[in-house]
Amino acid sequence: MKISQAERDAVYKTIFARRDVRREFLPDPIPDAVLKRILLAAHHAPSVGFMQPWDFILVTDKACKTNIKQGFLQAHAEAAELFHGDRRTQYQSLKLEGIEESPLGICVTCDRNRTGSVVLGRTAKPEMDLFSSVCAIQNMWLAARAENIGLGWVSILHDNVLRENLNIPEHIDIIAYLCLGYVEQFHDTPDLQRAGWLDRQDMSNVLHQGVWEDKN
């Protein structure tokens, strides 16, 4: 199947327009057909040994979201102590999640034993199944953006909060908690760049020809 130029351009447009959304979520529910397309895109991600180790827990219960938000607040306060001076003040001013505002939360997990202890392609690099689950998240992120749905990854959250509230077994690895929903707008630049936290690096700073070059 050949990709047309218009289809190619749409893929790149979606990639460059993707944002980590933390604010401006609307309460409108995501239609079932739209959510199914987004999840199906995630489920079609590449995976080591074709093991498809991911699971997706859909979270809509308000009380559960409140508990998860409390877990975020605890982890957020802990993280603030790692920064100093103006950097701590700036960190504390940032909006870094939309747990209660977004209509849907999705917890993505990885079952590292799904197809047995020996997995084709994981023998030399055992963390490949974790990377595969992250590929599923990237597919979900791009599919959501193509549906004009915002997605934010809440990484300031201890696993035990999700494990306890979502009844996740100990042998299942937790990869991410995601917030999804329609939003008022998508910004042209990432939140952290607009806030002056960091700028996007120039491509030349991360590109090496043939061998590693010290860029510092």
58-104: pLDDT as tens digits: 999 999 999 999 999 999 999 999 999 999 999 999 999 999 999 99
Q: What is the CA radius of gyration of the chain?
A: 19
For 9, 149, 187, the CA distances from 20, given in Å and listed in that order, are 21, 11, 10
HSE-up (13 A, CA, CB side) for residue 131:
10
Q: Which residues fall within 8 angstroms of residue 185, CB to CB, at 6 or more apart?
A: 24
For 30, 39, 92, 152, 215, the CA distances from 202, given in Å and listed in that order, are 36, 33, 27, 24, 12
Domains of the chain: 20-185 (3.40.109.10)
| Tens digit of each residue's pLDDT (9 = 90 or more) over 136-178 | 999 999 999 999 999 999 999 999 999 999 999 999 999 999 9
Predicted structure pTM score: 0.96
| Tens digit of each residue's pLDDT (9 = 90 or more) over 173-210 | 999 999 999 999 999 999 999 999 999 999 999 999 99
The confidence score (pLDDT) of residue 13 equals 98
The confidence score (pLDDT) of residue 216 equals 75
Which stretches of 81-158 are DSSP H helices? 85-93, 128-146
| Tens digit of each residue's pLDDT (9 = 90 or more) over 3-24 | 999 999 999 999 999 999 999 9
- Say how far apart CA 93 and CA 197 lie, in whole Å: 11
The confidence score (pLDDT) of residue 215 equals 82
